Amino acid sequence: MERSAQKNAVVNLLAMLAVGVAGYAAARHANCLSGQVTSFYMGLGLLVAIISWFQLRLAEREQLEKLEFEELTRTRIGPSLFETGEAELFPARRAREQFERYFVPGFTVVLFVLEAGGAYMLNAWLSKVPPTPMRQPTMAMAFFGLFALVLFLLGKFSATLARLENNALLRPSASFVLLGAYLTFAVGAAIAAGQAGFPRTDFYIARALCILLGVIAAETLIALILEIYRPRVKGQVTRPVYESRLIGLLAQPEGLVTTAAQALDYQFGFKVSETWFYKFLEKAFAKLLLLQLAVLWLSTCVVFVEPGQEALLERFGKPVPGRQVLGPGGHLKFPWPIDRAYLQRTEQVQSFTVGMALEKEKDLPKTVLWTISHGKEDNFIVAGRGLQQAAVTPAERTNAAAPKRSPPVSLLAVNIPVQFQITDLLAWAYSNAAPAKVLENIATREITRYLSSVDLGAVMAHGRWDAAQVLRERIQAAADSRGLGVKVLFVGLDGVHPPVQVAPHYEKVVGAIQQKQAKILAAHADAIKTNALADARGFRLLNEAEAYRLKRELNALAQAALFTNQVPAWKAAPSVYTERKYLETFVRAVSGARKYILLVSNTEDVVQFDLQDKIRPDLLDLTVPQSR
Amino acid sequence: MKRNPLSITVGVLLLVIFCLLLFTFQVRQSEVGVVTTFGKPTRTISQPGPYLKWPWPIQKVYKFDQRIQNFEDDRFDEVLTADNFNLLAMVYMGWRINDPMAFFTKFANGSITEAEKALRSLIRTAKSAVIGRHPLSDLVSASEAEAKFTQIESEILQIVQSQVAANNYGIEIEFVGFKKLGLPESVTTEVFNRMQSERQVLISKFQNEGEAEAAKIKSTAERKAAELLASAEAEATRIRGLGEAEAAKSLATFQQHPELANFMFRLSALEASLKERTTLIFDQRTPPFDLLGAMQTNQLQK
C-alpha cells in the first residue's frame, strides 16, 4: 500500500507540475488573470507534493527498517551484535526524525514566505495590470476545464487513498490537487463569464484568490507558532506542519458537512443526519447542483433590456435578421452560446469632457475662480487675432505674395462637456472598435481646430454660446462622416479661461478699469466741489460788493445828515465845538492805547522806551476795567 | 457493476461540450478569422457564423476585429514647422484590417500591438514631415479660411496610406486627425509672459486713461471756477463803484463847510487809526495833558 501511496504522490507531483506549467502558458496566452494566479497555487502545491513524497519515502524506509530489525531479532545469533546505540540501529528512523525536526519547519517557513509574498506581489500586480481583452478564450476555457477534470479525478483518488492507515502523508498533496481542480474550474467559469458579458469576473476571481492566499499564509504562520508549543508525545502520529487545514477543508468540503452534521446531532440531541430530509439532501445534492446549473444555462434564453438600453442580438455571431436590435423589455432567444445579446445604452445621455480634467464635483469649491487651479489644466492653442493684425505691416497687407508672418499664439484652458446619444446601434457597434473613443477624438480635433483660429476675447465672452453651437454642428458632421450613429446633443463651453498663470493679469485689467472709473468719478467729485465753491465765492463777492455799496451810500447819507446838523453848533461856537469834538474823540480813541505821558521841562533830556512786546504778560499788565 | 445514469449523462454532456469547444468556433459580425493548420495560415473567415475546425494543436483560429480601430499616438511629439516654430502635435488615426491573411503574417500572428507599433512609427514620421513643410500659420491662424488644418491631415493620411499599401500590411487607413496641438514647456512659459504683458498694456492703458480723464475733468472744473470768480469779482467791483458813486453825491454837503468837514474827517481818521494796539507817548503840551503841566504839584522844583 505504501508503494501505491508513493506512486500516487509522484503522480500528484507530476500532475501539479504539468497543470502549473500548461495552465500558466494558457493563462498568459489568453490574458487570463485568475489562471495566472492559479498557476502560482499549482507551484506551491508542487513544492508541498515534493516534500510530502520525500517524507513518505522516509516513512517507508523506516517501516522496512523496523521489519528488518524484527526479523533480525527473531533470528539473532548473539547479544553482542545489538549492543550498539539506538541511533546506529535505526538510521532510517533517525533520518525521518531529523527531517521532521529540522527540514519540515524550515520548509514551512519558506512556504509561509512564499504564500505571504505571493499574496502581496500578486495583489500589487493585479492593481497595476491594465484590463486586457482575452485572447482565444474558448481554447483557454477548454484547457482549464480539462485541467479541472483531470485534477478532480486524480485528487479524489488521492484523497481516498490518504484516508487509509499510514497514508496520511499523502493528504497534503491530495488536498492541493483537489484545490487545483476547483480553482481551474473557477478559472474556466471566469472565462465563460467574460464571454457572457462580464469581463471583470476574471479580475475579481484573481483578486479573491490573492486574498485566499493571504489567509492561507496566516494559517501557516499560526500553525508554525503552535508547532513550537505543541507537546511532543513519543509515538504519536502528528499532522505535517506544512499541511493546511484550510486547503483541506476547501478541497474536501464534505468533511465540513460531516462536522456540521455531527454538530447538529449534538445540538438537537438526536441524529439529524439520519433524518430523511438530510439523507435526501445528501443523496440529491449533486442532482440539485446539476439542476441549478441547467436552470442557469436556460436562463440565458431570456434577455431583459432595461429602459434606455437596446441590445444587439447575434446568432452564431451574425445579427439575427429582423431582430438585430432589441428594445426595452423581455425577449426570448436561443441559449448561450447560440444566441448572444450585447446591451448598449442608447436612449441614455452619455457624456465626456474635452480639456481640463476637473476635480470631483464635491471637491470643487463653491466659487470657481480662474486664478485657482481646479483640475489638471489642458491648454489649447489660440491665435492672437488682435496681435496678429497689429503685427502685420501695411506693406504686408497690400502685398499678397509676401510670406505669411507666424501668428502670435495664446493659450486657453478649456473644459468642454459633450453630451451624445446613440441613434443607430448597428452603426455604433459595428463600424468602430471603440466608437466612444473615436467620438472623443473627433470632438477634441474639432475643438482644437476651432480654437486655433478663434478670437480669444470672443470665445471667452460674448461669442461663447455661438462657439458652442458651431462646435456641436462640426462634431455632429464629423461623427456622421465616420458613421458613428450618434446624435450630439450638447456641447458646452463650461470652462474657457486663460491659464492659471495668466489669469491674475486678466483680473488686474478689470481692476485697472475700475481704477480708471474711480479716478474719473473722483475727478468729477472734485470738479463739482471746485465749481460749487467758486459759485459760492462769487456769490459772496457779489453780496459783499452789494453790502459795501449800500454801506457806502447810507454812510455817506448819514454822514452828510450828521454834518448838516453839526454845522449850526459849529457856527455858534466854532472853537469850543471843535475842542469839544476833539476831546470827545480823543477820549474814545486813546482809551484802549498804552499811553506814556512825559512831564519834562527839559526838552533836551533823552528818554528811552522799551516798546517791544512782552511774551509773557506780568501782573502789572493787567487791563484796568473801565470805570462806569 | 452498476453505472449511475446521471453520472453517465453528465459525463457525456461534458464530453460533448468539450468536443464542441475543440471542434467548433464562432466568428462575430465584427470579426474576421484566420485558421492555421500546423501553424500555416490556410483559411480566411470573413463572414460571421459558426465554423468547424480540427482541434488544437492541428488547427488554431485567430480572430481579429474588422471594425475601424482607433489608434492614438500617446506621445506629444515636438516638431518644427517650416518657419522654425517648435510645436507639439498629437494625432489619432482610424485603421482597419482589409486583408486578414496578410495582417496575420505581417504582425506576429496578427498582433494588434505589433501593428500599432508599426503604425506609430509611420504616423510620427509622416506627421513630422508634413508639418515641416508648412508654416505655423497653416495650423494656427486668425483667419479660419487661411488655415490648412484639413489639408495637412490629408497630406499625412496620403503618406501613411501609401506606405501601408506599399508594404502590404493587410490594413487600410481610414482617417488621420490632429487631436491636440501644444507648445514646448519653455515656449509655453514665454507665451504666458507675453500674455501677461498684453494684459499689462491694457492695465497701463486703463490706469493712465483714468489719470488723464481725471486731470481733464479737474482742469475743466478749475477753469470754470476761475471764470465764475472772475465774473463775480468784476460784478462786485462794478457794484462797489456804484456805491462809491452814490456816496460821492453827499460830498457837496461837506463842501459847503470844508473846514469843519475836514476837521470831522480827521477826527474820524484819528479814532479809526487808534483802534488797534497802540502805544502813545505824550508830553504835557498835548491837550488835555497840558492840564497836568499846569498843575502846581506837577511843576518841577528848582
Q: What is the pLDDT of residues A487-538, one digit of tens each?
A: 999 998 877 888 888 888 888 888 899 999 999 999 999 999 999 999 999 9
The residues, any chain, with a CB within 8 Å of residue A153's CB and separated by 6 or more, are none
With a cut of 90, say whether residue B60 has pLDDT above it: no
Report the pLDDT value the prediction gives residue B302, as an integer from 0 to 100: 47
With a cut of 80, say whether residue B131 has pLDDT above it: yes
Smallest Cα distance from A6 to chain B, Å: 29
Chain B neighbors of A410, CB-CB under 8 A: 191, 194-195
Chain B neighbors of A582, CB-CB under 8 A: 267, 287
Dist. CA A456–CA A506, nearest whole Å: 12
Q: Does A582 touch chain B (CB under 8 A)?
A: yes
The residue type at B53: K
Q: Would you say A353 and A418 are in contact if contact means Cβ atoms under 8 Å apart?
A: yes
Report the pLDDT value the prediction gives residue A371, as an integer from 0 to 100: 77
pTM of the model: 0.63
Report the pLDDT value the prediction gives residue A388, as an integer from 0 to 100: 47
Q: Would you say B96 and B172 are in contact if contact means Cβ atoms under 8 Å apart?
A: yes
Are residues A534 and B225, on separate chains, in Cβ contact within 8 Å?
yes
The residue type at B245: A
Q: Would you say A190 and A103 are in contact if contact means Cβ atoms under 8 Å apart?
A: no
Closest in A383, A541, A596 to B141, CB measured: A383
Q: Does A429 touch chain B (CB under 8 A)?
A: yes
Report the pLDDT value the prediction gives residue A404, as an integer from 0 to 100: 59
Chain A neighbors of B30, CB-CB under 8 A: 429-430, 433
Residue with cell 511629439: B77
Domain map of chain A by residue range? Answer: 2-270, 277-348, 350-501, 506-620
Classify domain A350-501 by CATH architecture: 2-Layer Sandwich (3.30)
Task: Check residues B37 and A160 and name the one with the higher pLDDT.
Answer: B37
Report the pLDDT value the prediction gives residue B39, as an integer from 0 to 100: 84
Chain B neighbors of A509, CB-CB under 8 A: 199, 202-203, 206
> Span B145-164, mean pLDDT?
90
Quote the DSSP letter at residue A319. Answer: E
Dist. CA A321–CA A336, nearest whole Å: 18
Report the pLDDT value the prediction gives residue A1, as an integer from 0 to 100: 46
Dist. CA A86–CA A234, nearest whole Å: 15
Torsions phi, psi of A495, nearest 5? -130, 110
Packing angle of the helix pair B5-23, A276-298 (nearest 10 deg): 20
Report the pLDDT value the prediction gives residue A622, as an integer from 0 to 100: 57
Smallest Cα distance from B31 to chain A, Å: 9
Q: Would you say A491 and A471 are in contact if contact means Cβ atoms under 8 Å apart?
A: yes
Are residues B275 and A592, on separate chains, in Cβ contact within 8 Å?
yes
Task: Check residues A517 and A275 and name the one with the higher pLDDT.
Answer: A517
Dist. CA A266–CA A254, nearest whole Å: 18
Q: Does A195 touch chain B (CB under 8 A)?
A: no
With a cut of 60, say whether residue A46 has pLDDT above it: yes
Q: Which of A29, A31, A132, A138 to mutate to test the interface with B (most CBs of B within 10 A)?
A: A138
> Span A186-191, mean pLDDT?
90
Residue with cell 462769487: A538
Q: Would you say A26 and A190 are in contact if contact means Cβ atoms under 8 Å apart?
A: no
Residue with cell 506544512: A242
> Span A265-280, mean pLDDT?
72
For the beta carbon of residue A330, count every other beta carbon within 10 angstroms.
9
Q: Would you say A177 and A21 are in contact if contact means Cβ atoms under 8 Å apart?
A: no
Smallest Cα distance from A589 to chain B, Å: 5
Report the pLDDT value the prediction gives residue B129, as an integer from 0 to 100: 92
